[in-house]
Chain A
């Protein structure tokens, strides 16, 4: 199987990916977790605002917008 891990921030719009690991502080991890972003979750990039703006991702029936810096702390496997 050919798999490719990358950072969420580097994923292109409309690509799907599986969350591999979440870096950053414990508080950040918990915040994502209670909102439903955990390891193993499949997510899709909805939009990326230009000039290093925030990224909107969707999973299940849920959309959230996170800052580009946060997206750099999430490692995903492109599907």
Chain B
């Protein structure tokens, strides 16, 4: 009886596309017990029976060299059948894992993926001969188009463990592979294809860097375009036309008083989703209608970039800079994820090898990588008319000031941390896959998984923050603290005393911080003061959700260290900005 099928294979062989093809809509991504490795699990039907199918992390061999590979190896233990997905254009290397699998006592089916590409590359593989030599079913497939998937499913029952292939040494395996390759593969001299040329251009420094900058700009432009349209045509209409009447009715039935102020609005009878600060108004509107649309757009774009195979090239191009910050080129991936929501950004730091690298990456994300919530709030601050009255230049100039400061801070703090944090920073070691046309369904699935992260791991914390702040606000604690810190604000950062309310509430709720800002009378802040507030608000503290994840990822001691660094850096930058922008 087949109950559990495990998909194995090298990284970048299109395993997740095969997984997508085999499973239905019910796919869950979960954490492997006791580790930080995520994997996907789904169901498929074989002869009408439901079978569990697991997408193991990609691995080059069964002698694991990192946590993800260890998990992949452990998953083998309770597999009834293994589908080994092989990149046909890289047969030789992929056969190493295949042989290791065949040596074990588990039934195996081999899927030769990317079969169509072998033809373009002048690679001829005799799959029948391969089947004879390995004694297991071998099925050529093209996961992207779905070709051969049916055949693969029908061969699962015929999976077996070969008799002739005996456990051997590493050297022994390579000798075997050499013999197999000689019998089954013929490679014609290949010409440089257009794909190769694009690949070369995007990885060489002189052409690669300008291309990288263009791609990033284009990507963000698309994110903005998708995000804005989602807001204007879907999320805003839902809130304004469907939700508003409900809240109004509910508010009227509550009547004026504590609960009205807590849940609906500070001003009785006036509901403004951004400025009312109630749990059911601003508390829901900001995360769901201002942030979520951009999260969706952002992760869709990122998953698309990832699935084309561009990110490893970008990692190669920026490796040099990131190495100076104690990480390596792959450190750019957590930064990108963090620009969406800092929570997945924190989780992505796992891909870095050492504690030092992870500490630096996590600290830098929380200080200098603004998430979509923070970004949209910075945009809102400078484009709102009530504050914009004092602007001398176009809003974008001030917004750029904020982001340039963050960028500079990222590099300077990283550089310093690299000097003083103990530990190792290993070099980059990364496979650069060929460019591929993304499989739309797989990309959408990945996007959805990431949005789920935001909904499941970040959103509840955001609500908790809203809840706490609203209580503290209503009972007067915030005002008390604000009064206490007023002299600090004006004395050290050259800001109006009222700013302390903004920064203190910003600890738990950035949306409230901006709501409060917007409710100040026009003229309270000069444009330069707003730049300082926006920058400090972004740097000071990440949200509560990020904090919780950070504590899990790097431990409570490191988290405290990191929090100390955050507050110090935010204060120092605040003072420097004051001196530069306002003068003494």
Flag if B320 contacts A63 (CB, 8 Å). no
Q: Is B65's CB within 8 Å of the partner chain A?
A: yes
Flag if A30 contacts B170 (CB, 8 Å). yes
Q: Is B384's CB within 8 Å of the partner chain A?
A: no
A54–B428 Cα distance when bound, in Å, is 7
Q: Is B63's CB within 8 Å of the partner chain A?
A: yes
Q: Which of B61, B65, B432, B434 contacts A56 (CB 8 A)?
A: B432
Q: Which of A13, A30, A52, A66 contacts B65 (CB 8 A)?
A: A30
Chain A positions 17-76 with a Cβ under 8 Å from a chain B Cβ: 27, 30-31, 33-36, 38, 46-47, 49-54, 56, 60-70
Flag if B203 contacts A70 (CB, 8 Å). no
Flag if A50 contacts B205 (CB, 8 Å). yes
A65–B97 Cα distance when bound, in Å, is 21
A49–B432 Cα distance when bound, in Å, is 15
Flag if B312 contacts A65 (CB, 8 Å). yes
Query: Within 8 Å CB of B428, what residues of A?
Result: 54, 65-67
Encode B86-123 as 1/0 by CB contact (under 8 A) with A. 00011011001100000000000000000000000101
Query: Within 8 Å CB of B89, what residues of A?
Result: 61
Query: Within 8 Å CB of A62, what residues of B?
Result: 90, 93, 431
A45–B194 Cα distance when bound, in Å, is 19
- Closest B residue to A62 by CB, please name it: B90
Query: Within 8 Å CB of A30, what residues of B?
Result: 61, 63, 65, 170
Encode B151-164 as 1/0 by CB contact (under 8 A) with A. 00000000000000
Q: Which of B208, B317, B432 contacts A64 (CB 8 A)?
A: B432
How far apart are B316's CB and chain A's nearest CB, in angstroms? 4
A9–B323 Cα distance when bound, in Å, is 17
Flag if A54 contacts B90 (CB, 8 Å). no
Query: Within 8 Å CB of A47, what residues of B?
Result: 200, 203-205, 208, 316
- Closest A residue to B114 by CB, please name it: A61
Report how many residues on chain B are interfacial, defined by Cβ distance under 8 Å: 38
How far apart are B249's CB and chain A's nearest CB, in angstroms? 60
Q: Is B430's CB within 8 Å of the partner chain A?
A: yes
- Given A35-B60, A35-B93, are A51 and B320 neighbors across the interface (CB < 8 Å)? yes
- Closest A residue to B204 by CB, please name it: A47
Q: Is B23's CB within 8 Å of the partner chain A?
A: no
- Given A61-B89, A65-B315, are A53 and B427 neighbors across the interface (CB < 8 Å)? no
Flag if B174 contacts A38 (CB, 8 Å). yes
- Given A38-B174, A54-B319, A56-B316, are A63 and B432 neighbors across the interface (CB < 8 Å)? yes
Query: Within 8 Å CB of B65, what residues of A?
Result: 27, 30-31
Which among A46, A50, A53, A70 has the greatest number of chain B C-beta atoms within 10 A? A53
Query: Within 8 Å CB of A52, what residues of B?
Result: 320
Query: Within 8 Å CB of B320, what residues of A?
Result: 49-54
A56–B316 Cα distance when bound, in Å, is 8
Query: Within 8 Å CB of B316, what residues of A?
Result: 47, 49, 54, 56, 65
Q: Is B73's CB within 8 Å of the partner chain A?
A: no
How far apart are B174's CB and chain A's nearest CB, in angstroms? 7
Which among A13, A46, A50, A63 has the greatest number of chain B C-beta atoms within 10 A? A63
Q: Is B329's CB within 8 Å of the partner chain A?
A: yes
Which residues of A are interface residues toward B (Cβ below 8 A)?
13, 27, 30-31, 33-36, 38, 46-47, 49-54, 56, 60-70
Which residues of B are interface residues toward A (Cβ below 8 A)?
60-61, 63, 65, 89-90, 92-93, 96-97, 121, 123, 170, 174, 199-200, 203-205, 208, 312, 315-317, 319-320, 323, 328-329, 426-434
**Would you list 8 pairs from A and B whose C-beta atoms are within 8 A, ordered by A residue?**
A30-B65, A35-B60, A47-B316, A54-B316, A54-B428, A56-B203, A61-B89, A61-B434
Add 15 more A-B contacts to A50-B320, A64-B431 (CB < 8 A): A31-B60, A34-B60, A36-B92, A36-B93, A47-B316, A51-B320, A52-B320, A54-B316, A54-B427, A61-B90, A61-B123, A63-B199, A64-B429, A67-B427, A70-B429
